Amino acid sequence: MLIAQISDTHIGAPGRDDLLRTSWHLARAVAHLNRRERRPDLVVITGDLVDHGEVGEYEHLRELLAPLRMPVFLLPGNHDDRHNLRRAFADHAYLQREGPYLNYVVDDWPVRLVALDTLVPGQPGGRLCDGQLAWLADRLAEAPARPTVIAMHHPPFSSGVAVLDAFGLAGSDALAAVLRRHPQVERVLCGHLHRPIVRRFAGTVACTCPSTAHQVALDLPPADRLAFVMEPPACMLHLWLGEEEGTITHLSPIADERPLWVMHDGEGWVRGSRPPAGFHPT
């Protein structure tokens, strides 16, 4: 099973000044995912789907996601609005019509996907309350033998980028306590930081996915600014190889298709081949 993760698409309303060209970047990400020879079974977008939580932005997001050839699962980030997200994606059955949170389980593939809603309206930081953590513990307890991936917007760890860490996740210690009791959790997939980061967390592996558009400059201490940089965007591909080998995570840069110089054709080494035309980018 292959799970593709993209994040922080930050789509604006059509016609609005798109300084960061987020719509163009998402269209490119969709084309990138559709072109994978091994097609992902599903795509999860880990929050900050749109920029201001407006209905017109979600409708624009729908249009941009329409060409995707695989199911897509959405969850909110701090730039989102639950009500408008539900309204614009009313046909997405996993998004409950009512209730304070958009937590859900996707149980249709070998790896279970559990989405957690960390949005606190009007706040850049996130939160998991006791009720959500109890819900998570129940979901994990009901299927202890099923490999599980948790997806949520705010990462439950500090990044070292000081300004971003000021907008972290309340409830991360309690989340860690739940995860330690449930070793079937293969990954905790997050967004928010607009950078690829991987670390050990509560007996599992937690990571953040780059944005499909703008990245946060890697300013490690003692720097304490927050700046965007147009580093190459990327998606993450989480490949489940089965009980024995578990999950492998690949970072896949989103770029125009480049020609391949084949070294081995699966049966033997290809002798004397030369780089194809266009192999060296100009």
Q: How far is the CB of 8 from Fe ion (least distance, A)?
A: 4
Binding Fe ion by CB under 5 A: which of 4, 8, 139, 187? Answer: 8
Residue 51 binds Fe ion (CB under 5 A)? no
Q: How many residues bind Fe ion (CB under 5 A)?
A: 2
Q: Report, in Å, the least distance between residue 65 CB and Fe ion.
A: 17
Closest contact distance (angstroms) between CB of 192 and Fe ion is 6
User: Would you say 48 or 59 has its CB closer to Fe ion?
Assistant: 48
Distance, CA of 254 to CA of 117 (rounded, Å): 27
48 or 57, CB closer to Fe ion? Answer: 48
Q: Which C-beta is closer to Fe ion: that of 111 or that of 188?
A: 188
Record the tokens describing residue 108, joined without a space: 């249709």
CB of 84 to Fe ion, least distance (A): 17
Minimum CB–partner distance for residue 7 and Fe ion (Å): 7
Q: How far is CA 2 from the centre of its chain?
A: 13
Q: Which of 47, 13, 210 is nearest to 119 (CA)?
A: 47
The region of 47-55, 109-117, 198-206, 212-220 touching Fe ion under the rule CB under 5 A is 47-55
CA-to-CA distance for 39 and 2, rounded, in angstroms? 8
Burial class of residue 163, CB neighbours in 10 A (0-12, 13-18, 19+): middle
How far is the C-alpha of 108 from the C-alpha of 275, rounded, in Å?
42
In whole angstroms, the minimum distance from the beta carbon of 125 to Fe ion comes to: 12
DSSP single-letter state for residue 269: B
Q: Does 48 bind Fe ion (CB under 5 A)?
A: yes
Instruction: Give whichever of 182 and 195 is closer to Fe ion, judged by the CB atom.
Output: 195
**Is 80 among the residues that bind Fe ion (CB under 5 A)?**
no
* SS3 annotation, 180-246: HCCCCEEEEEECCCCCCEEEEECCEEEEECCCCCCEECCCCCCCCCCCEECCCCEEEEEEECCCCCC
Give the residues lining the site for Fe ion (CB under 5 A): 8, 48
